[in-house]
Amino acid sequence: MTPDAAPTGLRALVVEDEAPLAELVSGYLRHDGFEVEVAGDGEEAIRRARTLDPDVVVLDLGLPGIDGVEVCRRLRTFSDCYVVMLTARAEEVDKLVGLSVGADDYLTKPFSPRELVARIRVMLRRPRTGVPRSADEGAPIVIGNLVVDVPARDARIAGDGVPLTRTEFDVLAALAVRPKMVLSRAALLEEVWGGGWNGDEHLVDVHVLHLRQKLGDNAELQRYVRTVRGVGYRIGTGQ
Ligand code: CA
């Protein structure tokens, strides 16, 4: 076995009640330089997350006691870490879409731990702030009642902060910094999830759905994030 990578200072919490799978995933993450803790149920996951302050949580949906959805909800009250949710069946992802759970990514079992770690790596590498693209870059972007301050990673509606996850904010920022452009799902994946992401473009729709819910929008009322049929999304400024 090759020696583990040098410590990266990154912390991961693996929440999985199947001990062999938890060990497998933890092993891959440790090998990649992560400090890893494992929780076997949801209550333990919340306790450990509070003390570990993880950069990423790998969260199984099916857990004894409180399930992964509830763990994610509670986690989101105090952490904006990346959450990758593991589901037993592909159909569960569709159910999760409607729940506004706040996970950043989903993987269906069985999955390759190597792919999981690669995706986490990409997520953690992607830039946290929007790359300046215009002359008055860095200035807050105003879309009706919504003000997006990209460098501060802050979104407000009529002055009230909107509690977006990192990924939701990244999607919003990617659109907001290009007010005249329609971004395809592929372009958003590239921008927000990073190059080489070979997952489902449906993931973009999941995050747009959650974003709209938090902004008080929906598919009919597209004040902030507009669907351009057959193309993708753009920010909702004027016409
Ligand atoms: Ca399980």
Domains of the chain (ranges plus CATH)?
A: 11-124 (3.40.50.2300), 135-235 (1.10.10.10)
Instruction: Using the mean position of ligand 1's atoms as its centre, give its distance from the Cα of residue 81 in Å.
Output: 21
Q: 60 C-alpha vs ligand 1 centroid, how far in Å?
A: 6
For the segment 91-97, the average pLDDT, to the nearest whole number, is 71
Average predicted confidence (pLDDT) for the chain: 85
CA of 58 to the centre of ligand 1 (A): 12
CA of 179 to the centre of ligand 1 (A): 42
Encoded amino acid at 22, one letter: A
Residues 147-161, mean pLDDT to the nearest whole number = 91
More confident residue, 128 or 104: 104
Strand pairing category for 146-149 and 154-157: antiparallel
Residues with CB under 5 A from ligand 1 (ion): 17, 60, 62
Segment 125-145, tens digit of pLDDT: 765 444 444 445 578 888 888
Q: Distances in Å between the alpha carbon of 128 and those of 65, 109, 236? A: 34, 29, 23
Q: What's the pLDDT at 121?
A: 87
Whether the pTM exceeds 0.85: the reply is: no
Measured in Å, residue 164 CA sits from the centre of ligand 1 at: 27
Exposed / middle / buried, residue 205 (Cβ in 10 Å: 0-12, 13-18, 19+): middle
CA of 40 to the centre of ligand 1 (A): 9
**Confidence band for 27, pLDDT divided at 50, 70 and 90:** very high
Q: Encode pLDDT of 196-205 as tens digits.
A: 666 678 888 8
